[in-house]
Structure 1
Amino acid sequence: MNLISGWQRLAGNRRLFTLCLLLFIVSTLLSTWIFLPVDALQRRLLQEVSQQTGLEIQGRNASMLFPPGLGLDLSIYSTTPGLNDLELTDLQVTPVWHSLFTADKRLNLTAILATGHIVVDVAQSGTIDSKFNDIALAPLQKADLPYRLSGKITGQLTGENLSENMEGRGDFSFYVVDTQIAGLEKIGLPASVFAGVLRLEGRFDQRRFSLEKVVLKEGSLDLSGGGNVLVGETAEQTRLNLNVRLHPTATTPDSLLELMSLTGMQPTVDGSYLLRIGGTLAKPMIR
């Protein structure tokens, strides 16, 4: 099971939320009076999270927080080819205290990931509000991944009614600075291309992702566009319907211009190239 479906199962899991809240409250009281080992709390909590989400995880350096909460370092082992394990340091999990008096109880998680910071607010109803800042992309990918994207990503994602079956909806926006694309020598381009700043905004409703704004600028090639992605169970079942406009710049590699020419693409009046991308994620079709 991948990380995304694991977090989807975490949101909306009433049993897990109830357990977390009880553990925080009871353990705080007990640790005050009988010095309950915090490692026992960590093991119980991680065991429940693993069972309910399907994620393979390991915790270290557990400590109690005040106001009541749990601090630890956490490894989430990757089951996705090409991606490294996620190493969350200084993870702090605390209840949102005023939500304890409502029907929709919430947990707050903060952590350091790949030199950046993440903040996630997860509700019992299946609502997620997440923000991330300056997370380095390169450490998240294996060195032998055919194509690699480096840079630092900042953004946010919100969703509601999330579930394992991708029945929820929400929106997202992020940007990546110092974007670098590596591995392009396989298609006759320079081994690494500086792509500048990438900005992406959109919405999702169940399995349909609408990319409302895709902009790449200040690099070797300017790009703008949007479209829809229908997410399937596999890359072969994920459908693409994208419109992308490429704007060559003074630093665009000659090899890229030659490649576009070989594909039969012709520039428009302003010198840009319009691409319509269909097919599947496994076998995209450019026309």
Structure 2
Amino acid sequence: MTNSDIFIGETIGTAVLILLGGGVVAAITLKNSKARGAGWLAITFGWGFGVLTAVYVASPLSGAHLNPAVTLGIAIINGGWDKVPIYLAGQLLGAMIGATLMIIAYYGQFRSHLTDREVIGDPADLPIEGGHTGKPGPVLGIFSTGPEIRVIWQNLATEIIGTAVLVLAVLTQGLNAAGDGLGTLGGLITALVVVGIGLSLGGPTGYAINPARDLGPRIIHALMPLPNKGGSDWGYAWIPIVGPLAGGALAAGLYDLAFA
């Protein structure tokens, strides 16, 4: 694989991943979406199908890492450190492009959700004319992850554990013949593993398990020129970066110890 193939493949593949993954969260969250309220099962399967589609799109060009934690785990096992920055650059750019495309697809719903008032939480939160109370609903969760209970060590541990499961599955079952990325069967296995992680371990933090998947869309959320969107929670943003990278390294260590 050439450097240009890797960069293009990771950019396109990660863009597809975030477009479909972020898209399913937007579909169930935003007002005037036909899928609003579909629930957690829809999110987990939507992300799983997003992974499957993205892997099949990117695999011929880059091996479809689509995740810095996967890139790190493969580099620890097989080397190729000189290509790691190219993978990471493509993944981050692709995540930002995918989030932007998702905004375009749901632009009317974002505007409706963020400009119409709705009652959420404590009715005393925000008095509004006309006898109603409430405030615009949050949209950061469409772009990036956040904990239900903010306990730093637990949030970090959850991301480490979930990502270790993902990367260990990739290393043991998902790699192509060259050992530098995902093959056709590996893409299917990885997509099913992502669904399983979401169902079993996604509850505490929203299962980032991918630094680019969280950071790229979070940047786009910060730049999105719509009112009442809320903050981007940069104080938490390091956890879905450090946790998955640590989980990827842990998985590579376990693989080297037990399987190599």
TM-score with structure 1 length normalisation?
Answer: 0.27
Q: Which has the larger radius of gyration?
A: 1
Higher strand share: 1
With CA pairs under 8 Å and 6+ residues apart, which has the higher RCO, 1 or 2? 2
TM-score when scaled to structure 2?
A: 0.29
